Structure 1
Amino acid sequence: QTGRYILALKLRGSERQLVADERPLQCLSQLGQLATEVQFILRRTGPSLGVGQEDTPTTERRLHRPPEPGPLKHRKPHKSLTFNLGPSAFSHGSQPNKARAASPGASPEPRASPVSLVDATNPVDPSKEEVFGRVLQQQRRLQELELQLHCLQRETHVWEQESCSATAPSPTPVRTEELQELERRLRENEAELVHTARWEAELQAETDREQDLRRRLRQTLSSVDDHSHETEELRARSAHLEHDVRPAAHRRSSRAAARQQQETLRPLRQELRHRLQQGDRLDATVSETQEELRAAGDTLQDRRQLIEELNKELRQCNLQQFIQQTVGPHGDHAAPPPATELYLSVAGVVE
């Protein structure tokens, strides 16, 4: 304020000069755990109030006050000038803090924020390190006391809330009937949950069955592909044999040669016919499997829709119960609010 001193904040080798309107305690509160490592350094930058007072260690630090006449200096006791670092960042406007702020004439022991730098009875000033060490110590003590006060206020608030909740009036008969109705619906919802669990088990069984059918379908399709490949090979072999037999038939005109040719082709034709019949049976099996798969998919979709509807109804009932339990202990009227009647009517229709 006088421009003759500057206050610097030193932390881990770095130093920063504080401006006139900056509060040191707010800086400490912003630093958090690093506040214990902070050092405040007060430097003198200008001359003192008088020329003859520069060499004396007991220089008065009066702010914006003109020097008094010489005879009056020794007639009246000097007032102790306090160096206040500003209000604490942890203050919450409690009554003990107001009491301390309202009694400037009290002793320095109960006051944590203001610290006397000049003692009227002791003409020798303490050193700057001792003064600022005392200031920081008392500021830390003030912060601890204010934290304890804040904790006590919170505990008192919690106790008041518990006492208020303990002395709350009992629910009206109408609310009791509504709660009984909600309990009945809760039991019904639990039964529906059991039913839903059974449906989910059946759904899982159907899903397993569907996976088994898909696996069998893949095996059947693989077998069909194998048999188709074998059938193509047999047809190629038959065509090659027919191509080989045809010149021999032209060369042989006797019946023995013709019967031999027929006997040679008969096993191949029988095997080819057997393969074709087996392929037709496999095609029919694939068609039946696909039909079963589609039917299982439709059944699975229907059951999923049914489970979704049951879950929606269950959420609506749970919402009704939650609203009734929330409104019940705090309501003072006999009739529930219109929103509650609407939810109850919707829940009844859904059931």
Structure 2
Amino acid sequence: MTHQQADRAARSLSRPFGVRGLHVPNRIVMAPMTRQFSPGGVPGPDVAQYYARRAAAGVGLIVTEGTYVDHASAGTSDRVPRFHGDDALAGWSDVVEAVHQAGGKIIPQLWHVGVTRTPGAPPVPDAEPVSPSGLSLQGEPKGRAMTQQDLDDVVAAFATAAADAERLGFDGVELHGAHGYLIDQFLWSSTNRRTDAYGGGVASRARFAAEIVAACRSAVSDSFPLFFRLSQWKMDNYEAKLAETATELDALLAPLAEAGADAFHASTRRYWLPEFDGSDLNFAGWVKKISGRPTVTVGSVGLDGDFFNLFQGRGSGATGIEQLLDRLERDEFDLVAVGRALLADPEWAVKTLTGRTADITSPSGEALKTLH
């Protein structure tokens, strides 16, 4: 990377950003990444140190790994952190304190896995997987369809978690509505075959998500921002689409924005690919254009070979930092989430912001395996 390119990266990514009461010094976000380092669902001192180290090294906003809301079927591992119970919440309080002492900002990602739960798995072995229609992501029968009571219980669990997040001193929350987990299972026509008010057209499929957003908005103060993560693709279906057209995406986003979503975290596998024909806007770009809300782009930032080679001063970087900066500078999106590259090098942010990109450590095979 040339000195001029490094200066441009530092200048573009160093701009401050704010939404509601959240103000961050730069445009770099740490993406949520499941690590299963919380035995019994309780984040310990090592988790606090893990996040604080990255906050101290210049990450503007940290989004935690997914953390389970208080519903029996929400999780599928006893090593993924919970966001309920005195022990887990005390652990999260320590995480917040450590990150704030390091000068960072942090929001938890609230999560319910839905039908992707493995039957018999902890943390509640006898909890049955639940979903909109009792169908797996492959369309096969699994678990059971949710009743109205189930829906109400999950909405309440998310709202309680949001309120707890504010009470513990977090700087906002993110609702995980992506990648084929519960909220996304309602948004996606392949898993939502309901014939009641929660199924059918795009807007109806968004009703459950909108109810969760509205309940969370009511449970927190006006200064506390709500992020909503969404994706077209699913963990085992990269070609999946919530919306085939911009019009359909508008129908999906409108209820969420109206319910109180302040920002959207738009997950794609490769941020540089256009989402719809006729425009080079990526998914985050389209979401921002349609919703009018700030967006976070994410998807292989710092991972693809061209990108990393460019950072090391090798190759043309056709999909590298130049295109990322082009898009950021024309306000196609507002924030840039970095995942596995921050696992490989906790100082990725400060090295980028100070023009020391040649010193960045390349992601290893283990870092590339981390999923969320």
TM-score range, shorter chain: under 0.3
Q: Higher Cα Rg: structure 1 or 2?
A: 1
Relative contact order (alpha carbons < 8 A, sep ≥ 6): 1 or 2 greater?
Answer: 2
- Normalising by structure 1, we get a TM-score of 0.18
Bigger share in helix: 1
- Normalising by structure 2, we get a TM-score of 0.18
